Structure formats: structure tokens, C-alpha cells
């Protein structure tokens, strides 16, 4: 099966947003074994969209559309496809009810143009939208499969993963099972990781290995094909072992996990609570930890100690420490970690202090970071980093290093037992 992805939206052609949907769908289709030969972006213009559909029909049998399912007058994807393949648009009761419910829950008035979002192509298979209003749909006509998905990634991605991929697998004829597993690494660059395992990458054809870098992490997607699912999984296990013999110290988890999720899991398992004192990171560690449902069993809270005054008055860092060693120092990180744990009565205290930039501080260069970790009944440790990125990239990496160091320290203490 050959696919083409058509993104509809003038905002893409004006450069207001970037087409991340095409990337996401391409990755997903690769896993399903579908070849993607073209991406197209076209504006909110029915004539030009029609031309794009006609071209796509000549070269692909699966055409996936993203965008243009919104409530406004310039959202015309389903109307254009309906006219093109000669199908009616009909009201989908389930979608309409879900839109009405959304408005009732948010106490907002539903307008007439929101009803338009519940119109679907007659005879299509509906893909529910769990994160927004416009339903997706799949329809077959004259040897082509048309899949319509909403434009916002936070609606489109879960819709495709939950419902779209399944709808497509039913259309695929292969007996081969395709299994995919993502290995996540932090603390090593993409080029360095690739250098370590280049001979393995070059040797492989099944499973395949696809490295990808982003958000200062590196992932390897391993994909195996086999008629037997167990064999495919064993192939992945074996390859994973070979890779982690070389670079296992940087490996931290699978698929869509994050360092913070791994930390949450570990704390829950040990029934330990954590508190944070955040200067450099300004609350990022706590915000991300509390974004995980069920966080309340592991995090009680903490202090954002952006100013020296808050470090001293609220977190009781000694005046001597601030005067002699500064707020960006090993000793300050140590006191912050220990004192925030005490203030909040948590088992673990973690602290982040450093020079965010753009200017240096206390004669220390931008990117100097101290992370303090105080675990009840164990010696407090402080790790130092010298980061070279932008202000925001450094904050993100600092939080991730904090998780990595804490996970390592927690595992050490486990091994010591």
C-alpha cells in the first residue's frame, strides 16, 4: 500500500505552524509497513485541494488528510472530498452529543457552526475524537482509502494511535506481524551513540534500527517483522541486549516514557515522597512531575527559590554560604536539598541552582549548574554540570539530569541493601 499525506491549512503555507502531523503519521505508517511517497500541503482553498486530491489518487491508494475539520467557514476538507467522490454529509449523532457535552461541561454557549463539526461522510467509519470536537473518518471509494483527521496534533495523534492505525491494519493484507520498540537514552549525543553502535546499525536489516534525536534525548526505534509474533519479539530482545551491552548506562526506558515517569514509578514502588527547591529551573521539575496523574502520592510540594532572599528566609540557607560561596555553589545546593525535605517532611529533597544566563553570575559562567540530592539516612550528594545550550534548553536538561542522578542514587542504595 502506498500512502500520501495531505495537510490542509493556509496557516502552514504562511509558515505560521510547522507540519509535525506529516512526520508523526509517516513514523506510524512506517511501522505499519505502508510506504509514504509524498507529503503535500495545500491551503484552505477547495479548488486547489481538489487538484491535490486528483494528483494523489494517481499515485497513492491511501490518502490521509489532516486539518480543515474545524467549525469555521474556511474549514472545507470534508465538504471538498464529499463533492469529489459524490457522497453526502450526514449528521453523526454520537459526535453531536459529544460536542454538546463538551459545551455543557465548560459552561460555554454552543454556536451553530460547531454543529457542522458533527457532519460526516455518508458510509464512513468514524474515528472518535477523545481530545476535541471534530470526529475523524475513513471511507473507501473506487480503490482508494481516504482518511480524514483533525489538524491539532493533540487531537490527531491520539486519534490515529487509538483508532486510525487499527482501521488501517484491517485494510492491509500482509500476514507479517510488525513489532516496534523504542529505546530511550539520555546523557549521550546522537553522533556519539551512533558511533558506538555503527557496526550493529550497518549489519541490521530485520530488525531495523532508526535513531532519532530530540529534546536532548536520543531514541532508537527497533522494528522487527515476522509471521510469528513471539519470534518478532525475541528478535527485538536480542538486538536490545546487544545494543545495551555497549550503551546501557545511558538507557532509561521504553517507548513513550520519560525520565520523570520512570522516577515517579520508582518512588511509588519504594513508597517515598519528594520535595524540590528550584532556583534555576523555576518550578519546571515540580510542574512536570505533577503533570503525571497520581503524582500526589510521591510529591508533596516544594519551593521556587528564585531570589537569594527566598533561599535564605524560606529555605534557611546560611548567610555565610550565600556570602562566601554564593547561591550557585555545592554548599548552597546541599542546604537547599536538605532544608526543603525538612520543611515539607519529605523522604527526599532535590535542588537545582545555577546560572541561567544570558549574563554570568557570581563570576560563574552561564550553564554552571549544581543539583543537590538529599535522601533520608544517606549522605547528601551534589552533582555539577557545565551546560552549553540556551537558557531554556539548559533548564530542560537540568531537570532531566536531576531525574537521572536521583534514579541512579536510588538504585545504588537498592544495590547496597
Determine the Cα–Cα distance for residues 21 and 7; give it in Å rounded to an integer: 8
CB-nearer residue toward a second copy: 63 or 289: 289
Report the residue from 83, 203, 376, 391 that binds a second copy according to the rule CB under 8 A.
391
The minimum distance between CB 286 and a second copy, in angstroms, equals: 4
Q: CA 366 to CA 108: how far, in whole Å?
A: 47
- Closest approach, Cβ 297 to a second copy, in A, equals 10
Task: Write the DSSP string, 301-327.
Answer: EEEE--SHHHHHHTT---HHIIIII-S
Q: Contact between 314 and a second copy (CB under 8 A)?
A: yes
Closest CA to 380 of 345, 326, 341: 341
Which CB sits closer to a second copy, 89 or 292? 292
Do 65 and 85 contact (CB within 8 A), yes or no? no
Does 363 engage in binding with a second copy (CB under 8 A)?
no
Considering only 135, 136, 367, 402, the residue that binds a second copy (CB under 8 A) is 367
Smallest distance, Å, CB 118 to a second copy? 13
Say how far apart CA 133 and CA 106 lie, in whole Å: 13
Taking the C-alpha atoms of residue 417 and residue 407, their distance in angstroms, rounded to an integer, is: 16
Instruction: Give the nearest distance from C-beta 125 to a second copy in angstroms.
Output: 24
Residue 305 as a binder of a second copy (CB under 8 A): the answer is yes
Question: Which residue of 8, 25, 69, 410 would you call a contact of a second copy, by CB under 8 A?
Answer: 25
Please state the closest distance from residue 415 (CB atom) to a second copy, in A: 28
For the segment 322-351, give every residue that binds a second copy (CB under 8 A): 343-345
Site residues for a second copy, 117-176, by CB under 8 A, read: 131, 152, 154
- Report whether 156 contacts 24 (CB < 8 A): yes
Per rule CB under 8 A, count of chain residues that contact a second copy: 110
All residues at 6 or more sequence positions from 77 whose CB lies less than 8 Å from its CB, including other chains? 8, 49, 65, 67, 68, 69, 148
Contact region with a second copy (CB under 8 A), list: 47-55, 229-237, 317-325, 371-379 = 47-55
Position among 100, 141, 194, 262 found at the interface with a second copy (CB under 8 A):
194
By beta-carbon proximity to a second copy, the closer residue of 327 and 381 is 327
Sheet holding 177-186, edge to edge: 208-214, 217-226, 177-186, 251-254
Piece of 30-38, 78-86, 323-331, 403-411 that binds a second copy (CB under 8 A): 30-38
Q: Is 356:363 a contact under the CB 8 Å cutoff?
A: no
Nearest residue (CB) to a second copy, 242 versus 296: 296
Give whole-number Cα distances, 19 to 14, 61, 118, 138, 184, in Å.
Answer: 12, 22, 25, 21, 24
**Which residues, numbered 67-126, are part of the site for a second copy (CB under 8 A)?**
70-74, 102, 105-109, 111, 113-114
Smallest gap from residue 414 Cβ to a second copy (A): 26
Strands (E) in 244-357, as ranges, are 251-254, 274-278, 299-304, 348-354
Amino acid at each position: 500500500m502506498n500512502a500520501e499525506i495531505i495537510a490542509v491549512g493556509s496557516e502552514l503555507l504562511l509558515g505560521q505552524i510547522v507540519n509535525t502531523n506529516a512526520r508523526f503519521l509517516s513514523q506510524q505508517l512506517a511501522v505499519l509497513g505502508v510506504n509514504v511517497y509524498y507529503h503535500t500541503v495545500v491551503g484552505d482553498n477547495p479548488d486547489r485541494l481538489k487538484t491535490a486530491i486528483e494528483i494523489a489518487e494517481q499515485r497513492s491508494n491511501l490518502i490521509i488528510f489532516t486539518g480543515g475539520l474545524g467549525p469555521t467557514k474556511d474549514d472545507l476538507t470534508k465538504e471538498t472530498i464529499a463533492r469529489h467522490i459524490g457522497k453526502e454529509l450526514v449528521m453523526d449523532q454520537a459526535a453531536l452529543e459529544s460536542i454538546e457535552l463538551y459545551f455543557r461541561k465548560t459552561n460555554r454557549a454552543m454556536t451553530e457552526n460547531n454543529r457542522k463539526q458533527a457532519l460526516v461522510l455518508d458510509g464512513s467509519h468514524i474515528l472518535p475524537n477523545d481530545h476535541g470536537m471534530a470526529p475523524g473518518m475513513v471511507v473507501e471509494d473506487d480503490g482508494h482509502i481516504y482518511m480524514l483527521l483533525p489538524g491539532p496534533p493533540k487531537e490527531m495523534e491520539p486519534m490515529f494511535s487509538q483508532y486510525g492505525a487499527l482501521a488501517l491494519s484491517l485494510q492491509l493484507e500482509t500476514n507479517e506481524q510488525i513489532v516496534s520498540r523504542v529505546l530511550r537514552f539520555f546523557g549521550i549525543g546522537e553522533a556519539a551513540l551512533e558511533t558506538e553502535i555503527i557496526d550493529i546499525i550497518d549489519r541490521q536489516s530485520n530488525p531495523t534500527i532508526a535513531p532519532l534525536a530530540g529534546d536532548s534525548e536520543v531514541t532508537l526505534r527497533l522494528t522487527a517483522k515476522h509471521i510469528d509474533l513471539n519470534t518478532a519479539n525475541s528478535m527485538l530482545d536480542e538486538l536490545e541486549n546487544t545494543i545495551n551491552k555497549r550503551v546501557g548506562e545511558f538507557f532509561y526506558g521504553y517507548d513513550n516514557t520519560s525520565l520523570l515517569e520512570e522516577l515517579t514509578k520508582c518512588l511509588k514502588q519504594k513508597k517515598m515522597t519528594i520535595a524540590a527547591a528550584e532556583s534555576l529551573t523555576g518550578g519546571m521539575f515540580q510542574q512536570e512531575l505533577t503533570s503525571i496523574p497520581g503524582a500526589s502520592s510521591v510529591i508533596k510540594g516544594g519551593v521556587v527559590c528564585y531570589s537569594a532572599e527566598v533561599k535564605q528566609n524560606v529555605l534557611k540557607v546560611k548567610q555565610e554560604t550565600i556570602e562566601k560561596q554564593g547561591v550557585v555553589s555545592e554548599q548552597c545546593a546541599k542546604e537547599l536539598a536538605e532544608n526543603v525535605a525538612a520543611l515539607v517532611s519529605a523522604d527526599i529533597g532535590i535542588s537545582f541552582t545555577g546560572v541561567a544566563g544570558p549574563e554570568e553570575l557570581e563570576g560563574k559562567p552561564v550553564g554552571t549548574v549544581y543539583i543537590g540530592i538529599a535522601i533520608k539516612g544517606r549522605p547528601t550528594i551534589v552533582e555539577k554540570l557545565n551546560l552549553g545550550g540556551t537558557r531554556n534548553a539548559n533548564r530542560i536538561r537540568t531537570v532531566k539530569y536531576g531525574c537521572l542522578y536521583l534514579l541512579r542514587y536510588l538504585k545504588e542504595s537498592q544495590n547496597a541493601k
